[in-house]
Structure 1
């Protein structure tokens, strides 16, 4: 059974993610350039950021890595009781990375199972993130990074991101229907807005053949 990048994107949305894009791992290389710029401007951060270089060279740690599937989960849909407002950040109250009973956690594990059932080798880091998630999300066309360094989609900044490495060179960069209007941050600069507004939908829908025609089933 042939699985395309669009099949993966549609499944991610069906399972509960808000947005999904897929990029080749090589598209993370310029993250290192921006990282070096940040360390040059703020030398005191070098010890902290030096280890982040690995995010730009994923194949060094994950030989299987050919592409990155980036997904966003919109937690702005949840109502926070008034007695918790201004005391605990909404992100921490709704973060589904660790609570197996949460909607976000179950969406993530179902999607990971779907990828494996389709015959992909996969890798992810649900706690910390397997790469620089906001940069990957911007490259994948699902949002931009604004001046406050938050990641925004058409629905705003109440999004948390996940990334899954896969062993096939697929690519899907959607063209959003509405671009956020604020300029990008210093680290991202104008390239983020340019990337957001000029990216062509579905640059490549390279099909693959699943090892077994009956393995690609819904989780």
Structure 2
């Protein structure tokens, strides 16, 4: 078992990553930051990291119990978790069940329309290019990933969507869409990584259609922590 002696490795918008005395494991530290508009909007909110760590822990534990391959090992403390160290693909994978946000704007389709067959999108993580929407062929051409790996990720994403739609619906929450990321473990096994929380999902209350996610922050709402706590309360 790792003794979790940590050394700073890198820092992102909402998390810090530390190495451990086990070269195959890392510690993910959840910061109190919340960001939007590709980081242009950034705010620190007390206890936000603790809540996102708690929500992500519950969801990854559930996915692990369903045999989904994830990087999550265990929660260490209120703001940190131990995970397998992976080489992340610089890609974001979006799964959409209801038309909303950028998809509505791009295609001129009214928000709120249910998508009968979930739509999968890929965004290239590149701040200088504002994370452009790409397709499978672009990703392979950029030498980021192979078609075989994309197929594996598509299958995992489809399974995660099926599992999480039911998981949230049992808490009277509709899963509108969500962003997930993947990385390769030491044996090149692809693992679901990063986090799953109201930062990365669009969640609506089943009865009232009230937003239970980061859209509240995007639209300058000031009750974001009450919303996140509500999600934690329901799934916890």
Same-fold call, TM > 0.5? no
Relative to its length, the structure with more helix (as a share) is 1
Relative to its length, the structure with more strand (as a share) is 2
Q: Which has the higher contact order (CA 8 A, sep 6+)?
A: 1
